[in-house]
Structure 1
Amino acid sequence: MTDVWRSGGLGPGGVSMKARVEQQLGRASRSPLGIWFRDIDRVLLLIAFLLIAIGLVAVAAGSPASAQRYSDAAHQVPPMYYFWRQVGWVGVSVPVLLVVSMLPVHVARRMALLGALACLVCLAAVPLIGVDANGARRWIGYGFAQFQPSEFLKPFFIVSTAWILSLRAQDDKLPVMAITAAITGLIVFLLMLQPDFGQTIVFGAVWLILLMVAGISPRVMAALGAAGIGGIISAYLFYDTARARIDSFLFGDAAAGAADSYQTDMAHAVLTAGGIFGRGPGAGTVKFRLPEAHTDYIYAVVGEEFGLIACAVIALLFMALVVRVLVKLLEEDDAFRLLAAAGLVSQFGVQAMISMAVNTGLAPSKGMTLPFISYGGSSMIALSIGMGLLLAFTRRNPYLARSSYGTGWSG
């Protein structure tokens, strides 16, 4: 097949394989696939695929440790159990990412609005019919069909909030901040019922970032910042889990939250056990004492087996993702696109920053996966939807009018 390609040999119908690809993806192509390939930000797509590939390697490294932890005399979990499940989730997620990235902007916006409504209903149902796991009720469904509504709500919430805030460009008297504050407050309330303090921080942080991008006055932002500090203090005073984790982070084993201190201390030990270059794939040993090695603390597993250089590469990839989008948005004049893309990339950046801070001991322990790296079906599919939306909102075509992509206010 390689020889046929290089020689321009004829394929079916008397057309060379190279010519067929150029017809579909070349600059002159007017097919939907060709237009998509020309307009998509291929650097962002490459970063996403690199993170997914690194994630598969990382889950393969963490799977034996988690399999051993969850095995007992009655049920033995195969060492690569979580890796092969993650391969399946990636096989589902990548097509989702690509299909969503091909959507016209107005279709993607409508999908996000409907998705936000559906996920909000599911989130409200979690305290009633949700599934308990590790002392929290965050999942809904049964067996293989279980999913985490808050994961799917994040990208839909961001796009919906961006759309509401963008209406301010048409009429600055619309109470867009009050509307988005009410929606965010409802989500925060439902998340704290689970409880899920980590996701609460992500939703609140992304909402504040969207307000800043939308141009809310500094006085209002200062008031919201003070309210956020008040919320953290209230969580410490009235939310036992938050108080235990903050105490264990600040005071170590002497506090009541010694179990949480063990997790962060062990994560730091695993992270630094491999030194600069790591112990090598599969050679890690300290990871077997680490809880949730395949999910919340997978960044530490990467450090032990592949070294601090690999950890730095992951951090730089997330930084490159954020910087790439922000640079592209400097020339964006559509309010909705600007807000939606800024909010979506902020979610990736905030979530990655929190996860890496927990793994390095810079933040208290909390259930926060590293985007595209950690194991998880709901997380992987939801992140792929978010990345697909980000790619859809950052598409650029220098040859066709922007109106053909549905970027107007109608619809």
Structure 2
Amino acid sequence: MNQTITGRIKASTAWADPNRYGRSDRSATGRWFWEIDRVLLFMLALLIGFGLIAVAAASPAVAQRYSGGSVRIDELYYFYRQIAWIALSMPVMIAISMQPRERLKRLSLIGAMICLVALALVPWLGTEVNGAKRWFNLGVGLFQPSEFLKPFFVVSMAWLLSLKETDKSLPIFTFSAGIIGIVAILLMRQPDFGSTIIFAAVWIAMLAIAGLNMRILIGLGIAGIIGVVLAYFFYDVATQRIDAFIFGAGDNFQTENAMRTLTAGGLFGMGPGAGTRKFGLPEPHTDYIFSVIGEEFGLIACLMIALLYLGIVARVLIKLLDEESSFAILAAAGLVIQFGLQALINMAVNVQIAPSKGMTLPFISYGGSSMLALSIAMGLLLAFTRRNPYLSRSPYVVKWGGENLRG
């Protein structure tokens, strides 16, 4: 009897045999290939490919905008630079996705602390762009601490909230509220009201996933509404954006022009390189690249991209339904919610249902700092959704060929 059970268990784990089923590579790379969510990886690669095409379409408009006098910029200058940033960022994403969860937890805690310090120094040492100090000029490009803080913040917060399982007496909620308060103050000093909203929204979503009392969540929602109202009265950036959006006061040209550009191509677009309205957009390669896609490739292409974002979010959330680690659930859910929320806000601005926030479209917009930060975030997401496809989520059950073997 024991020999029979032993033989069946050996058969069930035969996938590890280097001479069977073509899985001869037992290195870290080989294990990564079989454990990674290849569907999710494919969707991310597809999104990056769409982004490269979109940057190529927007690049001539940006080059013309910043060319002047003796300074002439090649029409595809930003396209070539985006290729370089992708070539740098993709190995980073893959390398991070190959790391074990515990190591990524420690690295994220260190990264969060470094980024918080950098965020605090931006108002004094940062470079001002379009009236905001959010970047450090590193010579080869601009470094935006808040973009890199986003993934590290989520993973660090996931670790903090998961501690509640081991000791329910820990003041986790109070401590996490203090951290998000510090982050919000530092962001609003830049000013960066849009990122402040994203950080706060992701924090509340993670609290809900962690099982925080519903009354407290409702209270946080009410506090958030009160916060936006107070920001309107006492925070100039919020006042200007909300007035322009709701009352049409001030300069509302950007969002109106973006909407006209988005719909100019109809369902199928004017064709690659045939768009003309993009030359009137203020930031066609970053904030308003979704409108460029609409003009040149049509509303159907815009819908496909929106569905791709939705598919990525849905894929991760469904995959987490049978995950057992509360830390992994919180980290992966927080990362994908943050990713989807940023995409939603950018698209909402382009279709004129949200005020302008200066927020990029993930993996579509041009930007070295943004591309590298997103690659880190998605590398973490891929790592936290990795699993052995031949083992069930129960530690006592081994699945092979539809048969369960219990030890």
Normalized against structure 1, the TM-score is what?
A: 0.89
Query: Is 1:390 paired with 2:390?
Result: no
Question: Are 2:127 and 2:135, in contact at CA under 8 Å, matched by a contact in 1?
Answer: yes
Query: Is 1:347 paired with 2:334?
Result: no
Query: Is 1:299 paired with 2:299?
Result: no
Matches within 5 A, 1:192-203: 192-203=188-199
Query: Is 1:182 paired with 2:182?
Result: no
What is the letter of the counterpart of residue 324 of structure 2? Answer: D
Distance 1:119 1:24, change over 3 A: farther
Separation (CA, whole Å) in 2 of partners of 1:181 and 1:55: 35
Q: State the number of aligned residues.
A: 378
Q: 1:10 aligns to what?
A: none
Separation (CA, whole Å) in 2 of partners of 1:68 and 1:248: 28
Query: Is 1:233 paired with 2:246?
Result: no
Q: 1:286 aligns to what?
A: 277
Query: Is 1:359 paired with 2:350?
Result: yes
Match of 2:242 among 237, 241, 246: 246
Q: 2:262 aligns to what?
A: 271
Separation (CA, whole Å) in 2 of partners of 1:403 and 1:180: 31
- The structural deviation recorded for 1:81 is 1.1
- Which stretch has the larger CA shift, 25-34 or 333-342? 25-34
Separation (CA, whole Å) in 1 of partners of 2:26 and 2:163: 33
Q: 1:153 aligns to what?
A: 149
Question: Are 1:25 and 1:35, in contact at CA under 8 Å, matched by a contact in 2?
Answer: no
Normalized against structure 2, the TM-score is what?
A: 0.90
Distance 1:236 1:35, change over 3 A: same
Distance 1:382 1:275, change over 3 A: same
Deviation readout 1:129-153 (Å, 9 max, x if unpaired): 1111100000014321530000000
Distance 1:33 1:24, change over 3 A: farther
Query: Is 1:119 paired with 2:115?
Result: yes
Distance 1:25 1:212, change over 3 A: farther
Percent identity of the aligned residues? Answer: 60
Query: Is 1:131 paired with 2:127?
Result: yes
Separation (CA, whole Å) in 1 of partners of 2:387 and 2:102: 15
Question: Are 1:268 and 1:300, in contact at CA under 8 Å, matched by a contact in 2?
Answer: yes
Match of 1:31 among 18, 27, 37: 27
What is the letter of the counterpart of residue 374 of structure 2? Answer: L
- The structural deviation recorded for 1:71 is 1.5
Separation (CA, whole Å) in 2 of partners of 1:248 and 1:157: 31
- The structural deviation recorded for 1:371 is 0.3
Structure 2: runs of 5 or more not aligned: 1-17, 396-407
Separation (CA, whole Å) in 2 of partners of 1:46 and 1:25: 23
Q: 2:10 aligns to what?
A: none
Separation (CA, whole Å) in 2 of partners of 1:28 and 1:73: 61
Question: Are 1:25 and 1:37, in contact at CA under 8 Å, matched by a contact in 2?
Answer: no
Distance 1:31 1:212, change over 3 A: same
Deviation readout 1:311-363 (Å, 9 max, x if unpaired): 00100000000100110111011110000000000011100000000000010
Question: Are 1:62 and 1:298, in contact at CA under 8 Å, matched by a contact in 2?
Answer: yes
Separation (CA, whole Å) in 2 of partners of 1:367 and 1:146: 15
Q: 1:215 aligns to what?
A: 211
Distance 1:303 1:176, change over 3 A: same
Distance 1:28 1:403, change over 3 A: farther
Matches within 5 A, 1:293-332: 293-332=284-323
Question: Are 1:24 and 1:34, in contact at CA under 8 Å, matched by a contact in 2?
Answer: no
Question: Are 1:24 and 1:33, in contact at CA under 8 Å, matched by a contact in 2?
Answer: no
Separation (CA, whole Å) in 1 of partners of 2:20 and 2:193: 47
